[in-house]
Structure 1
Amino acid sequence: MKREKFGSRLGFILVSAGCAIGIGNVWKFPYMCGEFGGAAFILIYLLFLLIMGIPVLVCEFAVGRGSRRSVAAAFEKLEPSGTGWHQMKWIGIIGSYLLMMFYTTVGGWMFYYCFKSIRGDFVGASPEEVTGAFGDMMGNAPVMVFWTVLICVIGFVVCAFGLKGGIERVTKVMMTALLAIMVVLAVHSIFLQGAGEGIRFYLVPDFGKMMEVGIGNVIFGAMSQAFFTLSIGIGAMLIFGSYMDRERSLTGEAVTITALDTFVALMAGFIIIPACFAFGIEPGAGPSLIFITIPNIFARMPGGRLWGALFFLFLTFAAFSTIVAVFENLISFNMDMLGWTRKKSVWVCAVVIIIFSMPCVLGFNLLSGIQLLGEGSTIMDLEDFIVSNNLLPLGSLGYVLFCTKKNGWGWENFLTEVNTGNGIKFPSFVRPYVAYGIPLIIVLIYLKGYYDKFCGMGTAMLTGWMVVAMILLGFVLLCSFRYNKEKTDIEVK
């Protein structure tokens, strides 16, 4: 089966950026910025994007373009005979399905809130009514199911038209609209009365505030956000590398996509933080910032119905761009592994994802008693923990090791693929850092994530979960060291 290709470089950049740009940019980044001291946090975040995010993204793109396969078959295509790298595909396959099991629910929330904002539900609403609206949505199973299924159906319909006719065409329009809406909202927020203090907080580094929070906490927060913002580790970016031609070097494209992703995150801060200061609201309010704090701002703002509708339309586009990108990854698994047609794969994946999304949807109402990560946790928390704290970092570790180890794809093959085409070249002298420094950073992020998650649950619970973490880490390392015994014996002789 002939491999599809993007119709243009712009299409590749916007679709790949659309995958990277998601809820983490417009939800998590602004409240982390508020929590960790504003501009000082941003500077450290940008540094880690440069020294860690871009190199890992380049590795994932390289495996995709070098293999012309999805993660389901990429390692088999590139690995030396007799090695165990192909087992890494399960991180990508399981991770992509798990991500869509809860991300579709969040996308449905955004879609529903966009509808509510257009309808004017928050106009003149009291803070108690805005807070109650979010709780009412979570407890209403039919509403949650409807909006989750709707965004799934729309996403798979787009994918059914193929790469150029569906995904690339729709994403170009959607991303252009997203960027335009962001600029309009940011300009409006900046000129709100009282927004000046928020702008200073956002743009002028306050290292004293950083010291209050704790330098170590700020650095780790920035490092973690830089790592997770690009959606690297489960093959969601690899698939678009497999559709890319060889006219441009991969480093230049990764820099462009990272810059676009960062622009969206920074603009989201310009929308939210000055508005918070203008209305006397704490910008470090946490995850509730989007669904409770922000609607309260729009409820008190002149023309709030229009601005609220635009804001949640922007959020819907950000979520939907990631959903469509990962749906394409799921569809490609069946096409590469089983030889299915796109049409058959779309139908099967649509049914599977809708069914698999239901535990998360019902976890806030009918199945709310299931709290596997402790009191007050939900099924979504468990799914997010498995993906964000496990599969993303472990998958990224696998890509870096595969591209640098001699028994993997190897540094020379990696460099040849990355530097083919016009544009920025990946420097060969950074091999020690990529081969040893980045894996060390990833392992630290991975283990620290476990510690932070379970340190408050007692020594026994923490020890048990850290053992789980080490077993999963051992799986990746085993893939990177394992040789077929028969092949090894022949080489010894």
Structure 2
Amino acid sequence: MSFLAEREQLATRLGFILVSAGCAVGLGNVWRFPYITGRYGGAIFVLFYVIFLMVMGLPIMVCEYSMGRASRRNLAGAMLTLEPAGTKWHIYGYVGVLGNLILMMFYTTVSGWGMAYIYYSAAGRLSGLTPQEVGAFFNSFISNVPEVTIWMALTVVLGFMVCSIGLQAGVERASKVLMSGLFLLLIVLIVRSVTLPGAEKGLAFYLKPDFSKLNWEAVYAAMSQAFFSLSLGIGSMTIFGSYLSKDRALMGESIYVIFFGALSALMSGLV
């Protein structure tokens, strides 16, 4: 009980929303959503995506938040604490923790790529290269195992440093800065993208509904994208819910997080 009483909480509502949105907003929104939208009919795919966000994503997010807040623990601890007597839900909790560890192997590697690209761009290594030359540079970079490992290790160290500072001073503050920077960057890139020659064709491809591509595969893709882009089902939102105070409405917090996730996806499509 003393552990639960001393557990740190996020300082502000905005901090909680941005921390949760920071987990939800990732490759699923920035990378996967734009191309899959174009592949499955543009605006008609977006419509089904939004429907699945509200019909399936919202209730599942509320459930994950409620589990975290009720138990004040991570997914494994929540399952162990809340499971009915005689049931084995805690086994899924351990599987979820293992899944998160495997997922972090992927994200820390890709984040290392991102930091490497920032460095090489600032050093001028990518300036003046054709798309083919950039592709060759990338293939050469990822085949250099020692270098990729160093950038991945740097990502892990930075993550540990932020977490070691604390929930409010570290994670919450970093999320506010990084999420604000992300949306500012997206706005700048959108302005640049829509003012390029031929941008109207790209906008039509992205936003004009193409009903000929509407099939069950497109509907399934919209449903899976809704789960992927909100990081649902792996316990991430359970962890954030464990830091949520009792005076916050779970439905309201979930709607805000889903809004920011969907907004980032739509903005990335414009880019």
| Residue in structure 1 matching 2:11, options 7, 10, 28 | 7
Counterpart CA distance in 2 for 1:205 and 1:250 is: 34
> Hey, what does 1:79 align to over in structure 2?
83
Q: Are positions 1:98 and 2:102 aligned together?
A: yes
- Number of residue-to-residue matches in the alignment: 267
Amino acid paired to 1:257? V
Residues 49-69 of structure 1, C-alpha deviation per residue, up to 9 Å, x if partnerless? Answer: 111111111111110011111
- Larger CA deviation: 71-80 vs 159-168: 71-80
Residues 178-223 of structure 1, C-alpha deviation per residue, up to 9 Å, x if partnerless? Answer: 1111111111111112101111222221213x15xxx112111111
> Hey, what does 1:232 align to over in structure 2?
232
The alpha carbon displacement at 1:230 in A equals 0.8
The alpha carbon displacement at 1:119 in A equals 2.3
The alpha carbon displacement at 1:250 in A equals 0.5
The alpha carbon displacement at 1:79 in A equals 2.1
1:471-486 alignment runs, 5 A limit: none
Counterpart CA distance in 2 for 1:108 and 1:125 is: 21
The alpha carbon displacement at 1:46 in A equals 1.0
The alpha carbon displacement at 1:118 in A equals 2.3
Residues 87-106 of structure 1, C-alpha deviation per residue, up to 9 Å, x if partnerless? Answer: 22112211111111221111
TM-score (norm 2): 0.95
Amino acid paired to 2:103? L
Aligned-pair identity (%): 48
Q: Are positions 1:153 and 2:154 aligned together?
A: no
> Hey, what does 2:28 align to over in structure 1?
24
The answer to whether the Cα contact below 8 Å between 1:39 and 1:201 also exists between their aligned partners in 2 is no
The alpha carbon displacement at 1:239 in A equals 0.8
Amino acid paired to 2:58? I
> Hey, what does 1:68 align to over in structure 2?
72
Amino acid paired to 1:166? G
1:124 partner SS: coil
Extract structure 1 runs of 4+ deviating beyond 6 A.
none
Larger RCO of the pair (alpha carbons < 8 Å, separation 6+): 2
Counterpart CA distance in 1 for 2:141 and 2:39 is: 27
> Hey, what does 1:243 align to over in structure 2?
243
Counterpart CA distance in 1 for 2:166 and 2:96 is: 21
Counterpart CA distance in 2 for 1:255 and 1:57 is: 9
TM-score (norm 1): 0.53
Unpaired stretches in structure 2, ≥5 consecutive residues: none
Amino acid paired to 2:56? M
Q: Are positions 1:259 and 2:259 aligned together?
A: yes
1:237 partner SS: helix
Counterpart CA distance in 2 for 1:135 and 1:13 is: 37
- Larger CA deviation: 117-126 vs 96-105: 117-126
Counterpart CA distance in 2 for 1:128 and 1:200 is: 27
| Residue in structure 2 matching 1:35, options 26, 32, 39 | 39
Residues 407-456 of structure 1, C-alpha deviation per residue, up to 9 Å, x if partnerless? Answer: xxxxxxxxxxxxxxxxxxxxxxxxxxxxxxxxxxxxxxxxxxxxxxxxxx
> Hey, what does 1:191 align to over in structure 2?
195
1:57 partner SS: helix
The alpha carbon displacement at 1:81 in A equals 2.4
> Hey, what does 2:61 align to over in structure 1?
57
The alpha carbon displacement at 1:152 in A equals 0.7
Counterpart CA distance in 2 for 1:108 and 1:26 is: 17
> Hey, what does 1:415 align to over in structure 2?
none
> Hey, what does 1:206 align to over in structure 2?
210
> Hey, what does 2:148 align to over in structure 1?
144
The alpha carbon displacement at 1:142 in A equals 1.6
Structure (1 or 2) with the larger CA radius of gyration: 1
Counterpart CA distance in 2 for 1:177 and 1:190 is: 20
1:181 partner SS: helix
Residues 334-364 of structure 1, C-alpha deviation per residue, up to 9 Å, x if partnerless? Answer: xxxxxxxxxxxxxxxxxxxxxxxxxxxxxxx
The answer to whether the Cα contact below 8 Å between 1:17 and 1:260 also exists between their aligned partners in 2 is yes
The alpha carbon displacement at 1:164 in A equals 0.6
Amino acid paired to 1:27? W
> Hey, what does 2:268 align to over in structure 1?
268
RMSD over aligned CA atoms reads 1.3
Q: Are positions 1:129 and 2:133 aligned together?
A: yes
